[in-house]
Amino acid sequence: MPLLGPADLEERQKKLKELLASQWSIQSREELLGTLDKLQSGEDGHRNAYWDIRKRLLVGKMENYLTIIKEEASENNDGERAFIVATHLGPLHRGVLPITAWDFGRYISLCRGGVEAGWLSEQEAWDRIIPAARLLQASYGSWTDFASDYLLGRNFWNPQAARDNETIRYTVTLLKAPPKGLWSTIDWNEPLGNGQILRDSLAATLLDHYEDPDPNSVSLDHLPHENPLYMLLRTSVDAK
């Protein structure tokens, strides 16, 4: 591949800045750093929205999933997202929020973009990338686990981009395929040093003393008030 000349590099940087502006509303170093901080805190990204839907589904119980999905569709135009969450419910692992791979994968990508845009030095980028990589390494057991959660996050981000999502899924398959796939040549547990691990501030807040609701308990939120079962349960609850 021929080396890019100054004019080519300038054009590439221009297109990258246009992309950052259109997709992230980032037009300066300060806005880039602010977005990175918001991804870490959960103010930006998609972990928080995914969590809210997940929690609503778990509280509502399996028998009410369809009702909750319809409510999400009518109230927030999030029916497709709610369906994605409902079909990927499972226990939490390692104290990690769902789609952490997606949010912090994009965090790392933004660091790289910041260098190419001229807003971060390479050292500044590495000082953020390595702690984020340590977080991801501690959060998942393999490249496959990381990729599954990343792809889930991408699908949640834009459920209507099915073709693009399948393209990314195929790319992941190539990355994992030996002997030439890049991921197949790098051990997931490759030592990353003993330095700082980036703190997922949102996970620290949401998961502090958190336990998923008992799947065998009963939800009263979606039973019609005239339903005899509702009346019986409501009387029992109110009597306590």
pTM equals 0.86
3 state SS for the chain: CCCCCHHHHHHHHHHHHHHHHHHHCCCCHHHHHHHHHHHHHCCCCCHHHHHHHHHHHHHHCHHHHHHHHHHHHHHHCCHHHHHHHHCCCCCCCCCCCCCHHHHHHHHHHHHHHHHHCCCCCHHHHHHHHHHHHHHHHHHCCCHHHHHHHHHHHHHHHCCCCHHHHHHHHHHHHHHHCCCCCHHHHCCCCCCCCCCCCCCCHHHHHHCCCCCCCCCCCCCCCCCCCCCHHHHHHHHHHHHC
In tens, the pLDDT along 141-196 reads 999 999 999 999 999 999 988 789 899 999 999 999 999 999 999 999 999 999 99
Q: What pLDDT does residue 213 have?
A: 85
